[in-house]
Amino acid sequence: MYEAKATRYDHLAIRSVGDSGLQLPAVSLGLWQRFDAQAPFDERQALLLHAFDQGVFHFDVADHYGIPYGSSEALLGKVLAGELKGYRDELVIATKVGYAVGEGPFGSGLSRKAIMQHIDGSLKRLQSDYVDVYYAHRFDDAVPLEETVSALDAVVKSGKARYIGISNYNVEQTQAALALFEAYHTPVVVSQMSYNMFNRNVETSGLLDVLREHHQGLVAYGPLSEGLLSDRYLNGLPDDFKIHHTNQATLSVGNEALVEKLNALNAIAQNRGQSMSQLALAWLLRDPVVASVIIGTTSAAHLDDNLQAAQNTAFTADELAAIDQIVTLN
């Protein structure tokens, strides 16, 4: 039977989510890809246990993740009901609702009926009585926002979630949702958005400022831009390189120019004594609004390398200016 390391909280920084009492490790593990029914369970379980031993106590899934849908939750649930059963109170488990998981008008979306059905499905797959964070995975313009907010509020008040989050909401949608949540006194504390050195929409749109104003935290997904911000592509990009739609604009400069940018960023990383991925994660974590960055990996070595990013998140003005110049250079 698994026994967690006594030193699991000794190394990785723990950060507050806005002004709430929720806390997260600086680096969290996401189970978006390769954690489903097609994945080797024993290997994935070993990685989850290794992550927890290193201080990663936040695991992020969604009902839409996996082939078939929900199988990422099911894989995590098997671990939660098994080796991690005695540690559930230490964990922060987050899942999401909104994208398609079934047929018919309530197989997706953020209607009250869909939310109430899908939280029960998620809890069943996760083999847990509650989740710590329940996200609206997207904005649903086919449903009145107040209906979505009131349903998420009911999820918390029924004891099925501890906190509410929103994901992929723009500035106007975020402001409108937060106003309603505040009227309901719902513990909404976090926004999960795509954010990395190349994709700074949360900055340029003003979303970060809105989150600060409302004392919210940000959890960044895609912090390495699908591995682009690592040493993997310093010698070139494959012709069939695929990237998340939120990062598509990064490729617009062309592969050759992009590789030049990557090598220039890598030089800064080396001068700081960091790997490229450590630099990219540290750059995000320099801002206290960013509560955690979500990485996706099936490699313990890659995980351990990324965790080192939290040890040096201080940047000089010259370093930040150099990074900005590299990233914005056309």
Give pLDDT tens digits for 220-277.
999 999 889 999 889 887 777 777 777 676 665 667 778 899 999 999 999 999 999 9
Per-residue pLDDT averaged across 199-216, rounded?
98
190 vs 175: CA distance, rounded Å: 13
Q: 83, 50 in Cβ contact below 8 A?
A: no
Specify if 95 maps to a domain.
Answer: yes
Least confidently predicted of 206-220, 233-247, 291-305: 233-247
122 vs 61: CA distance, rounded Å: 10
DSSP state of 103: S
Q: 52, 87 in Cβ contact below 8 A?
A: yes
CATH number at residue 18: 3.20.20.100
pLDDT (0 to 100) of residue 330: 65
Specify if 81 maps to a domain.
Answer: yes
Specify if 140 maps to a domain.
Answer: yes
Q: 303, 30 in Cβ contact below 8 A?
A: no
Q: 136, 108 in Cβ contact below 8 A?
A: no
Backbone angles phi, psi at 180, to 5 degrees: -70, -45
pLDDT (0 to 100) of residue 257: 79
pLDDT (0 to 100) of residue 198: 94
Number of domains in the chain: 1
Least confidently predicted of 92-96, 104-108, 257-261: 257-261
Specify if 300 maps to a domain.
Answer: yes
The pLDDT-based confidence of 53 (bands split at 50, 70, 90) is very high
Specify if 260 maps to a domain.
Answer: no
Specify if 3 maps to a domain.
Answer: no
Q: Which long-range contacts (CB under 8 A, 24 or more apart) does 77-83 make?
A: 77/125, 77/126, 77/127, 77/128, 78/41, 78/45, 78/127, 79/44, 79/45, 79/48, 79/49, 80/126, 80/127, 80/128, 81/127, 82/45, 83/1, 83/2, 83/45, 83/49
Specify if 277 maps to a domain.
Answer: no
Q: How far is CA 191 from CA 35, 96, 183, 198, in A?
A: 23, 12, 18, 19
- Of all residues in the chain, the percent with pLDDT exceeding 90 is 90
Instruction: Label residue 62 exposed, middle or buried (CB < 10 Å: 0-12, 13-18, 19+).
Output: buried
Task: Report the relative pairing of strands 14-16 and 23-25 from DSSP bridges.
Answer: antiparallel
195 vs 115: CA distance, rounded Å: 26
CA-closest candidate to residue 277, choices 313, 231, 219, 327: 231
- What is the pTM for the complete model shown? 0.95
Per-residue pLDDT averaged across 12-20, rounded?
98
pLDDT (0 to 100) of residue 238: 77
Specify if 263 maps to a domain.
Answer: no
Range of the domain at 215: 14-227+283-312
